[in-house]
Amino acid sequence: MCHSTLGGSGRIGLELAAELSRRGHRVHLFSRTAPSAGGSRPHHVVLHRLLPEAAAAPSAGHLRVEWPERETQALLGQLLRVTETEGLDLLHFHYALPFAFIAGELKEALGARAPVTVGTLHGTDVSAYGRDPVVGPKLARALADVDCLTTVSRSQAALAGETLRLRELPRVIPNFVDLACFRPRGGHSSPDRSPGSGGRRRARIAHVSNFRAVKNPAGLARIFAGIREKLDAELWLVGDGPELGRLRSYFSRQGLARDVLFWGPQRQVAPILARADLLLIPSLAESFCLAALESMACGVPVLASRVGGLPEVVAPGETGLLFPVAEPEAAVAMAVGLLSDPGRHAAMRRAAVTRARGFGHRRVVAAYEGLYESLWRRREPRPRPAGGGPFRGLCRQSGAFLHSLLFWG
Ligand code: GMT
């Protein structure tokens, strides 16, 4: 189960499903509307979406976590049906709300016939909802019933342990990137030229997000305005979200409208990222920042606030630079220094590509697969599904054609 967002947990859920399916597992993907993340290759995943497209969220960047009761019940109904007919062995959800509650109800309804449950905590499910005095305690109870919790960084694991008073810290399995899709423009060995080299063009600073307050749009605006005073640069804004309109007005008021390019929501972020010189992420909180990893994979250094899991993704001084979140002037100085030094910038581009390889999708999906197998081995022996054949281990099979074929991208 995952949200249908273009990036973040929606993309991780979709890409994980696709890669598991490529490895021969039978994968069913449950989401409220069709997942919108852009994968370029066809894959075989049985998609169960709750609502038709017309009922989709206002934008693909919008994370809709509060569902009406009729929707959670409808998803539960779908899960019950598929678990019974297909004999699902394992249910993995991405982002705790509302999925931890639905997984709990499924377990209650099926008892010993319920699949093993795995939940990945992604970000504001812990940092915002986990701290909420009403939602937090309910969420903690629901998560206590999940067989195994994972999260995407050590920092987020510690935060989840403390905020939700978990008996055991979630296991850390980092986010991943498809290196065939996110790669430098000139190929892996020769990332794009640095802006200052030959002085041919202005520096391109990219920001990719869902433009919520946690992404610190005010900080972003101040930092870019500060850079622009010292350097010929343009800002590329990729994505959509509630704070985008305010940013647009700010840049027009400051006379910077011509320096800012609004790309809107994009299914394929890689070709845009690969043409940038720097990714700017001034977030107030960030469990991981998938955009930072994708940017490094494209050979683009990251300038980010030193918060949450960002220091685990970006190697400061090597693949990017980290600044104290309350000090936008430090970010301006770092950006100007780096973008004016072609040699240092080029070295960072190369180091970023190398570091991103450690987060390649094959390696990380194998870690999830290993986890599933260990949980599966430890499970209680379960009764067979009504009228069905034996349970399949992790449903390894080559006949994916037996299932609905779903191609998107
Ligand atoms: O939690 C959110 O704000 C949304 C969430 C998502 O579902 O997209 O983003 C979080 O998960 C991403 C994928 O693991 C991480 O890359 C983001 O850092 C994280 N966002 C925050 O922690 C604010």
Q: What is the pLDDT of residue 402?
A: 26
What is the pLDDT, as a whole number, of residue 51?
87
For the CA of 5, the nearest atom of ligand 1: 8
Alpha-carbon distances, residue 276 vs 189, 265, 272, 385 (angstroms):
17, 17, 7, 53
pLDDT, residue 7, reads 86
**Residue 400 main-chain phi, psi, to 5 deg:** -65, -20
pLDDT of residue 39: 54
Taking the centre of ligand 1 as the mean of its atom positions, its distance from the CA of residue 304, in whole angstroms, is: 15
Q: Which residue has the tokens 């509630």?
A: 242
Contact assessment for residue 350 and residue 172, using Cβ atoms and an 8 Å cutoff? no
- For residue 317, give the DSSP letter: T
Cα atoms in the 13 Å half-sphere on the side-chain side of 53: 2
Q: Whose CA is nearest to atom 13 of ligand 1?
A: 8
Give the pLDDT score at 38.
Answer: 59
Atom of ligand 1 nearest to the CA of 291: 16
pLDDT in tens, 103-120: 999 999 999 999 999 999
Q: How far is the CA of 113 from the centre of ligand 1 (A)?
A: 32
* pLDDT less than 50: residues of the chain: 40-42, 188-191, 387-409
Tell the burial category of 283 from Cβ atoms under 10 Å away from its Cβ (0-12, 13-18, 19+). Answer: buried
Q: Which of 5, 9, 163, 325 to mutate to test the pocket of ligand 1 (most atoms within 8 A of CB)?
A: 9
Using CB atoms within 10 A of its CB, is residue 320 exposed (0-12), middle (13-18) or buried (19+)?
buried
Query: What confidence score (pLDDT) does residue 195 get?
Result: 62
Amino acid identity, residue 47? L
User: Token pair for residue 252?
Assistant: 């027009």
- Which pLDDT belongs to residue 25? 95
Nearest atom (ligand 1) to Cα of 283: 23
Q: What is the Cα–Cα distance from 341 to 84, expressed in whole angstroms?
A: 61
Query: Which phi and psi (to 5°) does residue 262 adopt?
Result: -100, 110
Q: Whose CA is nearest to atom 11 of ligand 1?
A: 122
First to last CA, the chain: 19
Instruction: Pick from 16, 97, 122 the residue to mutate for probing ligand 1's pocket: most ligand atoms within 8 Å of its CB.
Output: 122
In whole angstroms, give the CA distance from residue 238 to residue 267.
10
How far is ligand 1, taken at its centre, from the CA of residue 409, in Å?
A: 22
pLDDT at 206: 98
E strands, 284-370, are 302-305, 320-323
Q: Which of 343, 347, 325, 323 is nearest to 335 (CA)?
A: 323
The Å distance, Cα 142 to ligand 1 centre, comes to 20
Residue written as token pair 């009922």: 55
Choose which residue among 3, 99, 124 to substitute to test ligand 1 binding: the one with the highest number of ligand atoms within 8 A of its C-beta: 124
